[in-house]
Amino acid sequence: METAKFRGNYQSNGFSMTFENGYTISVQFSKMNYSDGKTTAEVAAWSEDGTWYKLGANDNVVGWRTTDEVADLIQLVKNL
């Protein structure tokens, strides 16, 4: 298995992290995303096979998350 890694995104303000469990989380923070571009971020996650992980009650992508919420989501995806 590929080791965990970070990837920056040169097209927007954000990053993604792929964990040893094969899941990737994307954190984006610009006004082009579900974010205010300063204090909140948009978050999504998916598995190695491209299956989206449902982070919200009804959505794969959750927006306007605070730093504490983003940290909690990172921990959640890391431990799937």
Distance CA 64, CA 44 (A): 12
User: What's the whole-number average pLDDT of the chain?
Assistant: 87
User: Looking at per-residue confidence, does 43 or 9 come out higher?
Assistant: 43
List, in sequence order, every residue forming a beta bridge with 65; answer none if it has no partner: 41
Three-state DSSP class for residue 20: coil
Residue 16 pLDDT more than 50?
yes
Secondary structure of residue 24 in the 3-state scheme: strand
Query: In this model, does residue 35 exceed pLDDT 60?
Result: yes
Instruction: Kindly list the domain boundaries of the chain, sorted by start residue.
Output: 5-78
pLDDT tens per residue across span 37-70: 889 999 999 999 999 999 988 899 999 999 999 9
